[in-house]
Structure 1
Amino acid sequence: MTSLLETPVPTAAESLPLRRGAARVLLANWTGSSTVPSRSLYPHQWSWDSAFIAIGLRHLSVRRAQRELETLMGAQWADGRVPHIVFNPAVALDAYFPSPDFWRTSRDGAGAGAPAGTETSGIVQPPVHALATWLVHLADPEDSRRRGFLRRMYGRLAAWHDYLTGPRNLGGGGLAAMVHPWEPGMDNSPSWDGPLRRVEPAAPHSYRRADLQHGAPTERPTDLDYGRYVRLAADYRNGGYADAGREHAFAIEDPCVNALLIVSEHTLARIAEEAGADPEPHRIRAKHLTDVLVDRLWSPADGMFLCRDLVNDELIAERGVAGLVPLVVPGLPQDVVDALVHTATGPRFRLGKVPMAPSYDLTGAAFDPSRYWRGPAWFNTNWLLERGLRQYGHGSAADALRSAMLGAAGTSGFAEYVDPFTGQAHGSRNFGWTAALTLDLLAAQEAGSPATAGAGLQ
């Protein structure tokens, strides 16, 4: 198979079929109010998927991109959390597990403010939503102002960030904690192997995995890990989805989640200005979170950020792409930036030598080029790295990464993820955020790349 390093930069004529293909994916995955990541494997609305999808949809239809985000935020809980899944009641219960009858949020989550009329999950995903909202606004500011888009979104976004920095501040330092491996979005990362050993898996006969009907077992989490995921979700549900005042068997401060929270706080300051609110609290919080991120999660010896296990208050000695994503954070110390770029291009991730950054350390014992989040390259994390590299002046590296991503998107059929060496497609095809971010990269390539892309301000 030809390496993606040999894939030439698409010409304007060549990019037209790629744009049309990406648009077809998003049109086919549109439900009328939101976009499913995949018609087969993921038939509902996912939280951070919808944020990335809106970023791409804005190049096709600003109104549809606005509605994507409005639909998601319309399922927000009264405590501020944005659930990681909003279930479509028209989809059969056995099409996806865990299904609404497992989560039972309208009943068991009532004390935490779950909506009564909409079934959701009870956990969350990374906060990309303010960034997506701002970028959608910038696609047509006049229409956005005319519809009051930012004014309507601002309060919900502020409440979402208050939830993450309030009830989810389980470590006490200000960073948001994740209480389930599905929450950081990198579900099957080797970073969770150690903490998951504390969890007794649910009995195999107590649930049925729907994911194996649509994906090869060699590309999906093992049965043992999946049983642990189910146990953690059931325990959280049975505890009324409460965060404080209870022990969590899994509680992690993740650098990707908190980097995106910081970027979104910077962006929320801009949204506040447009919405007639005070932007200063968001700027103050962004600066504080940046300091805490470096203080609590930076590992000078590893040259990257690591996850912190809050149960034993120790950094987790596994190197995943989450530890490179903080390149999107503006205002990092220069020595941290230099070390991150060195690590990204070094033997552990080999960015510039392999087409796209893998999801896990290439030299790590747990590396697997085809299994979910244990090595394959994902388009959303590489999109974030491309913006981070560009923000800190590494334009040539960012251009090369963008070209590689566009090549991989086209040759893989807009795959969910790909082999980081060969670009072989894995997971679902016609995947929502792959198509959406392809549109965004093509638009950026034609328009020129924004200087302040990392902060999401252009």
Structure 2
Amino acid sequence: MNSQINPDIAAIPFSRWGSYLAISQLAGEKHARTGLPAGLWLRSVHGAAASEVMLLELIANGAPVAGEVSRTASVLTLHHRHGRVEICLPTAHTVRLRVRGVTLRLTARPFRNHVAIPEPGGHWIFNMAANYRSYRLVPLAGAFTVDAPWQGQQCTHMIAELTPAGNAAAELAIEELSWARPAQDHSGNFDVLAQNVQAEFDAFCRPFLRCAAPLRDAAAAAAYLDWSSVVHPLGNLKRPAMLMSKNWMTNVWAWDHAFNAWAVALTDRDLAWDQFMIMFDHQDENGQIPDYINDVRLLTCFVKPPIHGWILTRMMELTGGLPPERLAQAYDVLSQWTDWWFTYRNPDRDGLPVYWHGNDSGWDNCTVFAVPLPLKAADLAAFLVVQMDALADFAAKLGRPAESANWRRRADATLQALITTLWDGTKFRCLSTITRKAAAPSDSVFGCLPIILGQRLPIEIRKALVTEIKRHLTAWGPATEHPSSPVYEPDGYWRGPIWAPSTMILVDGLRAAGETELARDIAGRFCKLCVKSGFAENFDALTGAPLRDRGYTWTSSVFLVLANRYLTA
């Protein structure tokens, strides 16, 4: 399984399970705003810190030269006709570099107070306040020099160079430090360390390769993205955490994490449980969970939709259920989360909770939110019905029949309120609680999300939603805003592009509604899109071009679920 993953590290950084270190090719407008040179950067994905740490350059005949990139899950290689540099992350806090035929130059990000300190044994510490970390450079073989002139408050620059002696390889280790500590043992052979890393990834990846043969290369790349996006517990992250990306979306959001948990359930039940529960580690006494967390920051100004009961049910179908103690934990946190919506987001007390902002729905700038807020949205009620149905099932399994009956009654009442209030005979409306009107113009597939209720919906509603979903389909899947809409934007975030979560909700809902062929067709379109364009945050609905963050884990996770569970049955 030592196959190439994706040589475009501008899309998917090179990293490993557990690490806050990543190597990326940085360029383009977003990077230009930093004022730093484009190129290959060692980066940090700790929250609140600057991301760029050191620029890596190949030097031949005294000048920087471009290198061609290749990679496996364990080794990133920069090739040049004069030589090459190989990079491995043998542990979460260590980078190993092996250089042949060229010089490797490492240029630290400039910032006030940055300083390079020599240590005994030829080691150097680059103390870098912008990154909230220090980095120890340990030369293992070859000639190693550091140029770091001190100017009273900071080094004007900090540049290290590693050069091989003749045909021998030069080697260097870089340690990420949060506190002072002795240098680590770096006597391990580079190739053996790389083989160990590859074996770790292979064990994670193998269960995902049961999909159809044409999808297996993409499945390996998707598995790599998920595996390499996990970081160790630290600060706010109480468990191993799969970040949404190690590009710039370096957080865990409160619905993204559940899609990642669903995918990981195919390979590692404990890691899947941790991904599902990680946001609930911060649930407050009223039942709210944060909008996002990272190791340093936590945001509670927004929330995300309650898709958790639905996804946990699907995870349990994959794994054969949960042990009683975990089921009881899940029941407790989901009960509080459900009650929070009816207590703190139900201003009319009519049984239909509301969104305060598009961000709360996960569809940040969707056209349905172009009305005075709060918004009474059909998807929210549908998710809560599914979640209460799940809670009824969990309560029954836990031997709590009265609670089970109560959840079922509440689910039935919410479903009735949804249909009575928001179904207009042809479609579900999203209504401002201020004006009691829907946004116009809006032609979003958002109104079709209640298909998640499956056969809970009357047949005439199911048929109407199926017709509307079909109308939004492009060659690649369901456009979030119909391409003929006057407010459609090709790169408009939730105003047109295709997204993984909306696709997953529609596919699963269609299957639950008995529309198995249509569900399979849409799943196939989305998987072909990922084969073509990778695992971007979203995609142009007409061309399939990747948009925004191009290495986004809920996209890879949805691909893995669809490829292994919806296109194989």
Q: TM-score, normalised by structure 2?
A: 0.59
Q: Is the alpha carbon distance of 1:385 and 1:311 closer, same or farther for their aligned partners in structure 2, counting shifts above 3 Å?
A: same
Aligned to 1:15: 215
Amino acid aligned to 2:420 = D
Equivalent residue, structure 1, for 2:93: none
Matched, 1:435 2:550: no
Relative contact order, CA 8 A, sep 6+: which one is greater?
Answer: 1
Tell me by how many angstroms 1:157 deviates: 0.5
What is the deviation of 1:11? 7.6
The residue aligned with 2:249 is 42
Pair 1:285 & 2:410 matched: yes
TM-score (normalised: structure 1): 0.72
Could you tell me how far 1:124 is from its partner in structure 2? 0.9
Quote the residue 1:263 is aligned against.
386
* Alignment: residue pair count: 349
Does the aligned pair in 2 maintain the 1:75–1:86 contact within 8 Å? Answer: no
| Counterpart in the other structure of 2:544 | 423
2:349 counterpart of 1:172: yes
- What are the superposed Cα offsets for residues 101-145 of structure 1, whole Å, 9 maximum, x if unpaired? xxxxxxxxxxxxxxxxxx432321111112222333333347x31
Deviation at 1:287, TM superposition (A): 1.2
Per the alignment, residue 225 of structure 2 pairs with: 25
Larger Rg: 2
Q: Distance in 1 between matches of 2:217 and 2:290?
A: 35
Tell me which of 80, 87, 92 is aligned to 2:287: 80
The CA distance in 2 between the partners of 1:389 and 1:445, in whole Å, is: 11
Q: What amino acid does structure 2 have at the position aligned with 1:378?
A: W
Equivalent of 2:531, from 410, 433, 437? 410
1:296 aligns with 2:421: yes
Tell me if structure 1 keeps the 8 A contact 2:212–2:563: no
| Other-structure match for 1:62 | 269
Structure 1 residue runs of 4 or more that deviate by more than 4 Å after TM superposition:
none
Identity, % of aligned positions: 24
1:140 lines up with 2:347 in the alignment: no
Distance 1:320 1:445 in 2: 25
Write 1 or 2 for the structure with the bigger share of helix. 1
1:139 partner letter: L
Residue 385 of structure 1 and its aligned partner are, at CA, apart by 0.9
Q: CA deviation at 1:446?
A: 5.7
- Name structure 2 gaps, 5 residues minimum: 1-209, 233-239
Q: How does 1:20-419 map to 2 (within 5 A)?
A: 20-32=220-232, 33-89=240-296, 100=297, 119-141=298-320, 144-145=322-323, 148-195=325-372, 250-277=373-400, 278-300=403-425, 303-317=426-440, 318-330=442-454, 331-346=456-471, 349=472, 351=473, 353-419=474-540
The farther-off stretch of 361-370 and 155-164 is 361-370
Contact 1:86 1:121 in 2 (8 A): no
Alignment CA distance shift 1:178-1:409 (3 Å): same
CA distance in 1 between partners of 2:257 and 2:489 (Å): 27
SS of the residue aligned with 1:74? helix
**Alignment gaps of 5+ in structure 1:** 1-9, 90-99, 101-118, 196-249, 449-458
Equivalent-residue separation in structure 1 for 2:264 and 2:427 (angstroms):
32
Shift of 1:55: 0.9
C-alpha distance in structure 1 between counterparts of 2:510 and 2:389, whole Å:
18
Is contact 1:297–1:315 with CA below 8 Å preserved after alignment? no
Instruction: State the SS of the aligned residue for 2:478.
Output: coil
Q: In 2, Cα distance between the equivalents of 1:407 and 1:441?
A: 11
Q: CA RMSD in A?
A: 1.9
SS in structure 2 opposite 1:279?
A: helix
For residues 371-430 of structure 1, what are the alpha-carbon distances to aligned partners after superposition, in whole Å with 9 as ceiling and x for unaligned?
110111111111111112222222221111111111112222111111112211111112
Q: Which amino acid aligns with 2:411?
A: A
Distance in 2, matches of 1:46 and 1:165, equals: 22
Counterpart contact for 2:535–2:552, Cα < 8 Å: yes
Which has the larger share of strand? 2
